[in-house]
Every structure is written in C-alpha cells, then in structure tokens.
Amino acid sequence: MEDLPDVASFSTKLKNTLILYHNMEDDKWRVAKKTKDVTVWRKPSEEFNGYLYKAQGVVDDVVNVIIDHIRPGPFRLDWDRLMTSLDILKNFEENCCVMRYTTAGQLWDIIAPREFVDLSYTVGYKEGHLSCGVSLDWNEKRPEFVRGFNHPCGWFCVPLKDNPNQSLLTGYIQTDLRGMIPQSAVDTAMASTLTNFYGDLRKSLQKA
C-alpha cells in the first residue's frame, strides 16, 4: 500500500474533516450557482489555492439507494457522465477502498481528461450516511492522463424529517485539476459539474 500507513486513523481524520465542513456557518459561503433544485456555494479552500464547493438539493429516494449510486461500485459508471472508468485497486473492508477513476474532458476539452486515485470511505452519519474520499500520492501513473488531486471531499445524505422517502444530499468538493488551466475555466466547470451531477443522479434513480 503506497503512502497509507494506518487506514483506520486516516479514514477517521477524513470523516472528521468533512463533518467540520458540514458544520461551517452559512455566512462563510458565497453562492456560485443556483437552479430550481440545486444550490452550489463556494469558499476559499484551506487545502490548496482553489475553492471548496458545497452543493445541496433534495433527491427523491431513500438514503441507502442514493449512497449506493454515489460510492464506488457498479452503479456509478452507469449514470455519472463525467466518469469514464472506475477500478477498485484495493479493498480494506466493505465500506473502505482505494479506487482509480478517470474523467472526461470538459469545456470543449479546455480541461483534458483526468485520472484520480482516491481512498473512499462510507460511514453512518446521524440518520443517514457520509461517503467521503481523498486522493493518495499513488506512484503508478498513466501518461495519457493528467493526474488530478481531490482534497477531502464527501457527500452527506440524510432523510427528510417530514418524508423519509426523500433525502437531503449535501456535497463538499475541492479538486485540484492540476495542469495548465485558467482558474476561471476551473470555476465555471466545477459549478456546472455539480448541478449536472444532481440531474444525472435523479434521472438514474427514476429509472431504477
């Protein structure tokens, strides 16, 4: 295992970082994009010279089904238009693995395809779940891809109090795409990618 000495403590630290983001006061965030059913906010990241994005919307399904569509597994490639491949490199237990995935080019290929190697960890949170991840310094690289880096990211999914068949899905994303890309292009792509994510997820769940 490369550069990952203690999976249990690493996973716990990742979970706690996401809970800190989730508990930040509303006035820390600025709206980046708003549609009728998704809002995306952002704030300067404390991890790198970019933004931490927060996205939130209600999804019509139960928590377990939604999380199964988001975390690494057979569902994700079926509906996520940005993800072009996903391989599990190492399983630690049912809810923790190392995954390698690739993404499609964006903004007319101003942003070329990227590759990421992340630790993924899914854990219970209140009445729902948190599925979170962070990139690893993985030595094996493929020359046809730029290697991006995800700083702590994650998705909180909890049932709505007045309707347990609907869930509130809140995501935190801070991705360093690396390579030579104008920051304005990255910012445009991230806000649109997050709203598209909700739309594609909802369509997939309706078909299920």
111 within a domain of the structure (yes/no):
yes
2 within a domain of the structure (yes/no):
no
Residue 192 carries which DSSP code?
H
Q: What are 193's two structure tokens?
A: 């990618």
Q: Show the DSSP H helices in the chain as ranges.
A: 7-22, 63-70, 74-79, 183-207
pTM of the model: 0.93
pLDDT digits (tens, 9 = 90+) for 52-101: 999 999 999 999 999 999 999 889 999 998 899 999 999 988 799 999 99
Q: Which domain holds residue 68?
A: 7-23+31-206
The total of structural domains in the chain comes to 1
Residue 104 carries which DSSP code?
-
Residue 124 carries which DSSP code?
E
**CATH number of the domain bearing residue 57:** 3.30.530.20
Q: Using CB atoms within 10 Å of the CB of residue 208, give its burial: 0 to 12 exposed, 13 to 18 middle, 19+ buried.
A: exposed
pLDDT digits (tens, 9 = 90+) for 141-200: 888 888 999 999 999 999 999 998 999 999 999 999 888 777 777 887 889 899 999 999
